[in-house]
Structure 1
Amino acid sequence: MTMLQSRMMAHSLILHNGNFVTLDAAQPRAQALVLRGDEILYVGDDATARRYQTRDSVTLDLQGKLALPAFTDAHIHFTGFAQSLENVDLSGCQNLAQALARVRERVAETPPNVLIWGGGWNNAEWDAPAFPDKRALDVVAPHNPVILTRKDGHSVWLNSRALRDANITRATLAPAGGVIDYDADGEPSGILRENAIDLLGGGIGAFGNALRPDILQRALQYAHARGLTTIHNLEDANAMRALQTLHANGRLSLRVVHSIPVDKLTFAAALGLQRGLGDEWFRFQAVKMFADGSLGSRTAEMHEPYTDAPTLRGVAVTPSDALLDAARLAAQSNIDVWIHAIGDRAITRVLDVFAQLRAEGFAAARLRIEHVQHLHPSDVTRFRELNVIASMQPLHQPSDMFVTDAALGPARAAWTYAFKRLLDAGAPLAFGSDCPVEPLDPLRGIHAAATRQNAADAPEEGWYPEQKISALDAVRAYTLGAAQSVGDAARAGSLAVGKRGDVVVLQQNIFEIPAREIQHATVACTISGGNVVYQA
């Protein structure tokens, strides 16, 4: 049965003997929940819930397990994640040799001239952390073009064949906001950064494997097994097309809130597209643009030079006047604005842009900064003052913490992933993963936010532990905060009568176990639109 057929044959689902934490201030705890189709009919006790039972009812005994509003990933590249399930995975490599060995394995099973696509490499974790070059790839892949995305998505590593196929030579000029690395001979080294990646013919994923429905279905099931029922997807037209096709065929069991890249904004505005176009399973919402790059690629735009690279302050991928023009057009067109900003200088510039919009009278414009990694102290209170959502990804913190110490020094590192400072200042928080940059797993994200530790429980007290937040606050950012960030709080983010039938049941009570154990917690059951889409 497809999702469409199950929605048309709405039945009641009674969840009883549960430990519900609803995130609804009017009724924060409950024992039972009754759903009919994609709507919550009742929240309360077991005895009353039984009165809703009819011949078509299905009952689930939760055996006292913790139940929550299902998770939302507020920042993901979903079709890129789906593709990554089949591409060369370089995550976890400890040196260049290990990365090359994995590429060599794929070359052995790939015909000549066929593109080899992969990613996840992180030279900052290698024993020799210098950026790799084309010559190393040429040895293992002389006859196949190879394109490998860095873990942060802001640099790619190519071999000579891929450079030649893209017609990138020593005479090629990097586009504004982009960098081509060169070797000692003045030839492209094989590393492209930021907007220079567009020389390959489009955004990340445009030159990857075809978006086959079976790959997307595999990714959907992976998401449900992690308790997810909604994503905010930041990708391009190919992704929108593929996900809409799934929806039209009744196969989309994950709610999708989609953005468009800024180069499509003028076209969208001219067509009269506005946020909310679509339905409760797939809708258009926002425009995504970039203020800067990433820390790992040393392209995050900083007020002061990098500690370990004193000649660098990062890259202003988009100048402030262009950001303002695009953001103003989006606000005029009733399209949400999501701007990537990682470095403290980039965050300041984006907040300045948003302040100008508020001053111009765009009080109702919904504005988000994506990542908010390295804050300047003077900007913390501006999020609340300007009603700007901080869309953050907690799993970046354990990945980047030691690199951040080296790149920025302790004074600036202490303002990195400043969850607690932002929360205390009243900033609206929405959490996601940035998958496939980080794993698609909200429970691991909650662990990172609550402990400031990596999977090995390091550092012992947490990295700048004053920035820890409670597991409950982290859950709220993955649920109600995420819903509020796209105007969905009336229908999603908490368990209350009239809201969507999206629930996650956990095997462990993450509010009672030690915070360091949350990373090992697992999902028992996920319900999306009133249908059980995953059961352990």
Structure 2
Amino acid sequence: MNAADSTGATGATVLTGATVLTGATVLAPERQPDGTAIALLGDRIAAVGTEADCRAALRGDGVPDDTVTTEDLTGSTVVPGFVDAHLHPMVMAVFEQQVLLDQVRSIAELNDLLADRARNTPPDETIVGFQLDGEVLAEGRVPTAAELDAVTGGRAVVLLCRDGHHAVGSTAALHRAGLDDPGLVPAGGHVVAGADGAPVGLVGERAVEPLMALMPEVTLDGLVGGIAAWADRLVSQGVTSISAMCQSADEGPAGPAGAMEALGWAALSGDLPFDIQTILITPEPSEVFDLRDPSLHDPARGRRLDAVKLFLDGTLGGRTACMHGPFADHPHERGMRTTDDDEAYRRMEAAHLAGLQICVHAIGDAANRSAAELFDRLLVRHPGRHRHRVEHASVLDDPTIELFARHGITAVVQPINLRSESHWLARRVGLDRLGWTYAFASMARGGVSIAGSSDAPIERTDVLAAMAAAVDRGGQAPEQALTRSEALALFTTGGSFARGTEDELGSLAAGRRADLVVLDADPTDERTDLDAVGVRSTVIAGEVRYRSERPVRPPG
């Protein structure tokens, strides 16, 4: 773009007047003919076609020829702005401020990190760490409460696992959270106990919530800084639209500490450039209407609060995903349900009748079958237009896919899981279910609409890395691989359809919002290394929000 470097998500360089982009490969996301140009006028795409067609369209809009700027993007590729259809913005902001454990590779290394943190933290303040993954530690497990006690001098320590559904607490933390008393463990939660009946440290699902409530108070300055940090990162990765999961009650990944998430998000998201759908995590769908003020719901300004989320099960990483059969590496476990059918249907029916989108978290094959059957029951009883979704849809089977397709249920998936879980996925689900795990091709061929997302901060937000994972799958169940064009569609047309914004976002066409990404190479060219593709610039509503000096790269 012929503009100075932008200042990130909270600053912008406005394209002056009308601009015609020429010379680039254009993926709308469908490949356009060679020589395709794009005309931008204000926050809109005025035309997509030949350069002559674009200039004629601008003249028709009253723009004199001599005021039109031409931008030569020869060698670049222009794609629609990327859509991340599932992330947790307030948790992301908190993660930016805490100890991150994603690079730790042994309990000894973890102990050193925690001991250093203990020396620099007031004694009455809980030490909190995020992204712990016992599967990648040399010991092949998470630490025990006793180990945390020894290295921190008996301090309260809470380590949230990478899956967001499990945590490890020190003895002091477990006691403060009431989790050393079996009678106080929340319904839908579990606490791993030793032979003597005492907690060993690991807790899961709803039992994570009281531990997370021990987190130190999050400051306003910290949240503002955290949001700015992740917003700049997303813009640099080409993300222009997001679906933001926010709690309004104790239920959810952050537990009681997240009960004010939605209010905080309303206060702090106003200056973000993204088109934002907020999805409320709440047991009472009517809360959506209580929170619908212009900060969260102003469609003309790219803000919508129009959906609710509920959880049916846990995660594969924590072996709490609800499965038809046992986990291959733990034959006595098959996961758990976190919300039973009666309660789930109550919420779903209330949301559907209120005209809200329903987003059901389901990971295991039994949970996904239940989600499909609940939607079948709901939509047979109350037919009508909807845009309901299943979040994750990780392990499936043919009957579930058929029900999703029959009722138009969108699957919102996270392809990057194929990389972060590669070291244990086949061992966990077993070879017989591996072909049904992240079954993107089966869903696509079976008529299920699929949208891409990150589930950040559980996973990273790098869209191009996620596209690469959807295509190469790390060699796991290659029959479920998507083509490069299908992978691009996940994060453009697919994501926009999942959010109900396909007439405004997710494609390059006249009248659409001017959200686009300029890449240094064509991600759909088989000769291109997808992992090496980079973002040259990101434009949101006609404003350059990010620009780098990356040179264009020929394929091969």
TM above 0.5, yes or no, is yes
What whole-Å deviation, never above 9, does each CA across 1:379-405 have from its counterpart, x for those lacking one? 222221111101100011122244222
Q: How many Å separate the matches in 1 of 2:383 and 2:534?
A: 43
The structural deviation recorded for 1:268 is: 3.3
Partner of 1:88: 99
Map 1:344-359 to 2 at 5 A: 344-359=365-380
What whole-Å deviation, never above 9, does each CA across 1:45-90 have from its counterpart, x for those lacking one? 3344456466876553322301100101111112222322221111
Shift in alpha-carbon separation, 1:208–1:306, aligned structure 2, 3 A: farther
Shift in alpha-carbon separation, 1:529–1:242, aligned structure 2, 3 A: farther
Does the alignment pair 1:318 with 2:323?
A: no
Does the alignment pair 1:442 with 2:463?
A: yes
The structural deviation recorded for 1:30 is: 5.9
Partner of 1:524: 536
Partner of 1:193: 204
Moved more, 432-441 or 233-242: 233-242
Map 1:331-342 to 2 at 5 A: 331-342=352-363
Shift in alpha-carbon separation, 1:23–1:422, aligned structure 2, 3 A: same
Does the alignment pair 1:38 with 2:60?
A: no
Q: How many Å separate the matches in 2 of 1:116 and 1:56?
A: 58
Moved more, 61-70 or 388-397: 61-70
What whole-Å deviation, never above 9, does each CA across 1:432-476 have from its counterpart, x for those lacking one? 0111111110000000001011xxxxxxxx111111111110110
Mapped contact 2:38–2:48 kept (Cα < 8 A): yes
Does the alignment pair 1:268 with 2:288?
A: yes
What whole-Å deviation, never above 9, does each CA across 1:131-159 have from its counterpart, x for those lacking one? 32211112222364322111110101112
AA of the residue aligned to 2:195 = A
Moved more, 346-355 or 518-527: 518-527
Partner of 2:140: 129
Q: How many Å separate the matches in 2 of 1:7 and 1:240?
A: 30
Mapped contact 1:262–1:326 kept (Cα < 8 A): no
Partner of 1:227: 238
The structural deviation recorded for 1:28 is: 6.9
Map 1:173-322 to 2 at 5 A: 173-200=184-211, 210=220, 211-237=222-248, 238-248=260-270, 251-268=271-288, 277-279=297-299, 280-322=301-343
Q: How many Å separate the matches in 1 of 2:33 and 2:55?
A: 21
What whole-Å deviation, never above 9, does each CA across 1:166-185 have from its counterpart, x for those lacking one? 23323443222110122333
What whole-Å deviation, never above 9, does each CA across 1:185-221 have from its counterpart, x for those lacking one? 322222220011222366x989666552222112111
Mapped contact 2:20–2:71 kept (Cα < 8 A): yes
What whole-Å deviation, never above 9, does each CA across 1:301-321 have from its counterpart, x for those lacking one? 000112222221101111111
Q: Root-mean-square deviation (CA), in Å?
A: 2.8
Mapped contact 1:99–1:121 kept (Cα < 8 A): no
Mapped contact 1:181–1:191 kept (Cα < 8 A): yes
Partner of 1:62: 73
User: The residue matched to 2:428 in structure 1 has which SS?
Assistant: helix
Q: 1:422 aligns with which of 430, 443, 461?
A: 443
Shift in alpha-carbon separation, 1:205–1:241, aligned structure 2, 3 A: farther
The runs of 5 or more residues in structure 2 that have no matched partner are 1-6, 249-259, 549-556
Shift in alpha-carbon separation, 1:424–1:223, aligned structure 2, 3 A: same
Moved more, 483-492 or 192-201: 192-201
Q: How many Å separate the matches in 1 of 2:469 and 2:27?
A: 21
**How many residue pairs are counted as aligned between the two chains?**
522
Shift in alpha-carbon separation, 1:24–1:263, aligned structure 2, 3 A: same
User: The residue matched to 1:230 in structure 2 has which SS?
Assistant: strand
User: The residue matched to 1:452 in structure 2 has which SS?
Assistant: helix
The structural deviation recorded for 1:253 is: 1.3
Partner of 2:4: none
Does the alignment pair 1:506 with 2:526?
A: no
Does the alignment pair 1:14 with 2:20?
A: yes
Partner of 2:125: 114
Does the alignment pair 1:485 with 2:507?
A: no
Q: How many Å separate the matches in 1 of 2:292 and 2:23?
A: 48
AA of the residue aligned to 2:20 = I
AA of the residue aligned to 1:34 = A
The runs of 5 or more residues in structure 1 that have no matched partner are 454-461
The structural deviation recorded for 1:42 is: 1.5
AA of the residue aligned to 1:108 = R
